[in-house]
């Protein structure tokens, strides 16, 4: 029987090769997308597995696990046909990307089933909403690969939107749902989930129609992550169990706070150094993808399935 982390480990090796070698000719945004496809997705699949699945959920989950790696490889081939091999036909690259669209659709279907099955538990609704947002990310990726302009959105913006929905919009609701599973419910938690679900929608509408609406959506979404991270850190600090899961969740929260600190310091730093926002993008992206998201997923997986595994 293969190790549960095996798909993510293989995906990590592929992602390392993509980030390291110039052969692929991918932009930084595209590299982060491949990281989401090969590493973040299998870890998410591992996290959402549970013993309370209905028969239909088990079937969908089995399809998800089987389809993931072929879909990720075809998504990689889709990008390579455009950037590495320079085929010159968006129809070819777009056709390859449809496999990823199907995979994210199955994730969304699983999320919808989770919501319908456990609609009385708001934490499960949060997790289900996160899985549905993966599908929106898949739609944006397919539009990007077909080089289609949707609602006056340039294909380049489609790539950014896909990254946003694969990392923030999908993952944060799942994290907040996982927090809801272990905490004694507070009155503010329901609002945390509601804002976390509508935040990405406001951001998406804002990208297309209104910059102020986008800024408002980003602001409330970021505030939600601050509340989540702060409460989680306080809960972990009070915990008597010093597990590996606790360590990774702590590092995840600290990574997000690092992003906040850098964002505050950037306007001051650029006055004294020749910094531009493009210089900060790799730092922000790395802290968010490798710090907040990756460490957060590892932390919740370890806390859920390996609660007694201690940190060294």
Name the more confident of 276 and 130.
Answer: 130
Coil, strand or helix: which one is 243? strand
Please tell me whether the overall predicted TM-score, pTM, comes out greater than 0.85 for this model: yes
Using one digit for the tens of pLDDT, what is the confidence trace for 208-245?
A: 777 788 888 888 888 899 999 999 998 888 876 778 88
Q: Are 170 and 134 in contact (CB under 8 A)?
A: yes
Does residue 4 surpass a pLDDT of 70? yes
CA–CA–CA angle 206, 212, 215 (5° rounding): 75
Give the pLDDT confidence score for residue 312 in this predicted structure: 44
Dihedral (CA of 301, 307, 310, 311) sign: positive
Average pLDDT of the residues in 247-275: 83
Give the pLDDT confidence score for residue 259 in this predicted structure: 86
Q: What are phi and psi of 153, to 5 degrees?
A: -90, 125
Give the pLDDT confidence score for residue 265 in this predicted structure: 78
Name the more confident of 2 and 143.
Answer: 143
Q: How many CB atoms lie within 10 A of CB 272?
A: 7
Q: Which of 111-125, 132-146, 211-225 has the lowest mean pLDDT?
A: 211-225
CA–CA–CA angle 19, 127, 192 (5° rounding): 105
Give the pLDDT confidence score for residue 262 in this predicted structure: 81
Q: Are 288 and 255 in contact (CB under 8 A)?
A: yes
Give the pLDDT confidence score for residue 85 in this predicted structure: 78
């Amino acid at each position: 029987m293969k190790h549960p982390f095996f798909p993510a480990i293989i995906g990590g090796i592929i992602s390392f090769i993509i980030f390291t070698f110039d052969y692929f000719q991918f932009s930084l945004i595209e590299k982060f997308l491949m990281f989401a496809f090969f590493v973040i997705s299998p870890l998410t699949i591992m996290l959402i597995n549970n013993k309370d699945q209905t028969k239909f959920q088990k079937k969908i989950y089995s399809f998800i696990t089987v389809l993931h790696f072929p879909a990720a490889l075809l998504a990689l081939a889709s990008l390579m046909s455009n950037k590495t091999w320079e085929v010159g036909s968006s129809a070819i690259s777009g056709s390859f990307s449809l496999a990823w669209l199907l995979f994210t659709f199955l994730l969304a279907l699983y999320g919808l089933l989770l919501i319908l099955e456990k609609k009385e538990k708001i934490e499960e609704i949060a997790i289900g909403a996160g899985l549905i947002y993966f599908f929106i990310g898949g739609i944006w990726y397919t539009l990007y690969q077909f080089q289609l302009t949707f609602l006056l959105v340039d294909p380049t913006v489609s790539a950014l939107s896909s990254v946003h929905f694969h990392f923030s919009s999908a993952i944060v609701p799942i994290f907040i749902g996982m927090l809801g599973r272990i905490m004694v419910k507070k009155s503010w938690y329901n609002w945390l989930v509601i804002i976390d679900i509508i935040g990405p929608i406001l951001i998406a509408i804002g990208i297309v129609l209104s910059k102020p609406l986008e800024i408002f959506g980003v602001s409330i979404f970021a505030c939600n992550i601050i509340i989540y991270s702060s409460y989680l850190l306080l809960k972990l600090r009070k915990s008597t169990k010093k597990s590996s899961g606790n360590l990774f969740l702590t590092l995840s929260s600290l990574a997000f706070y690092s992003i906040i600190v850098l964002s505050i310091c950037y306007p001051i730093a650029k006055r004294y150094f020749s910094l531009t926002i493009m210089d900060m993008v790799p730092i922000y992206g790395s802290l968010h993808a490798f710090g907040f998201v990756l460490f957060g997923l590892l932390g919740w997986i370890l806390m859920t399935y390996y609660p007694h595994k201690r940190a060294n």
